[in-house]
Amino acid sequence: MNPSAPPTEVITAEAHVLVPEASRVASRPGLLRVMARDRTAMVGLVIVSTLSLAAVLAPLLSSHDPNAVDVARRFLPPSSEFPLGTDHLGRDVFARLLFGARVSISSALVATAGITAVGVLLGMVAGYLGGVVDTAISRVVDIMLALPTLLTALAVTAILGPGLDNVVVGIVIAAWPSYCRIVRGAVLAEREKDYVEAARAAGASSTRILRRHLLPNVVGPVVVMTTLELGITLLAISALSFLGLGVTPPTAEWGAMLSEGRTYLARASNMMLFPGAAIFLMVLGFNLLGDGLRDVLDPRTVHGAAWAAPRRRARRRRWHDVTGGDQALSPGQGRD
């Protein structure tokens, strides 16, 4: 898959539909309890926490140094001492996978945090302040979204030079705009609501309104998006790393391991199979979790409301957004 860009769009679409319901989200009781009943979300949670735990406990789970080179034991098949075999420098693939999890997962966390921070901040500012600020931010967003996210990330990283830090920066620069657009939409929708008007009439400051009223109401979509974004970001980081733009050797990282494994595809497929499986599982975990969270946070899909309630306008609005067209149809307009 072409990481990052594509799923963002669908998420854009669906998270948008969430917006009108967002005000209900914050007050929904027993989020975890509902989630516990959602099997997909639970499976996702289990996968994500297992792999994360393995990353944290890496030194306890493997007795081998992930970077210990021993050319006398290259390309060993899996055995009791080396559960996943050894690589082209005689290093333990299992140990590298565990320590690689630390690098891969933490860089995905950092990148996603960056995207969320920038996207939420600018999106809220644009949505709430409107006017020139909104126009300026929205134009930048439009231009950024006129390019495939991966290409932007690739180009930025290429300019900055290889290195995991630069990969993270490149991905944040490339991915915040779609986030920003969604948050802006959500804020626009909330802004028009009576209680915000009331707060404003009561003399509340902009910052206060943003923080106390608008932020809590965009939390729902943001949580779903962020969970899904973690998977997308992990894929993007692995992809850039696979292309040789990521970590410098000998650091273990899943994408880089896979790239090394590709060289020895026929000779030692263990070098390619396991890191790939790890990336796949982790991304799947985030996606299952995000998908489940959305089901929980979006009342329509939980209660089967979609079959009953006419959603013509919602669809049209969502639809237009997917096409990445102009901003004329703001979510606020289409509210039922």
In this structure, the number of other CB atoms found within 10 A of the CB of residue 11 comes to 21
User: Residue length, the chain?
Assistant: 336
242 binds other proteins (CB under 8 A): yes
Nearer to other proteins, 216 or 264 (CB): 264
The residue count for binding other proteins (CB under 8 A) is: 91
> Could you tell me the smallest distance in angstroms from the CB atom of residue 299 to other proteins?
14
> Could you tell me the smallest distance in angstroms from the CB atom of residue 3 to other proteins?
7
> Could you tell me the smallest distance in angstroms from the CB atom of residue 45 to other proteins?
14
267 binds other proteins (CB under 8 A): yes
CA pair distance 261, 254, nearest whole angstrom? 10
Of the candidate residues 26, 46, 143, 198, the single one contacting other proteins (CB under 8 A): 143
Nearer to other proteins, 209 or 298 (CB): 298
In this structure, the number of other CB atoms found within 10 A of the CB of residue 204 comes to 16
Stretch that binds other proteins, among 21-29, 54-62, 107-115, 247-255 (CB under 8 A): 247-255
Stretch that binds other proteins, among 23-31, 64-72, 109-117, 179-187 (CB under 8 A): 64-72
Stretch that binds other proteins, among 104-112, 124-132, 193-201, 240-248 (CB under 8 A): 240-248
Q: Residues 100, 118: contact at Cβ < 8 Å?
A: no
Interactions with other proteins, residue window 68-107 (CB under 8 A): 68-69, 71-72, 74-75, 88-89
> Could you tell me the smallest distance in angstroms from the CB atom of residue 297 to other proteins?
15
Of the candidate residues 192, 212, 250, 303, the single one contacting other proteins (CB under 8 A): 250
Stretch that binds other proteins, among 20-28, 179-187, 199-207, 275-283 (CB under 8 A): 275-283
134 binds other proteins (CB under 8 A): no
> Could you tell me the smallest distance in angstroms from the CB atom of residue 282 to other proteins?
9
40 binds other proteins (CB under 8 A): yes
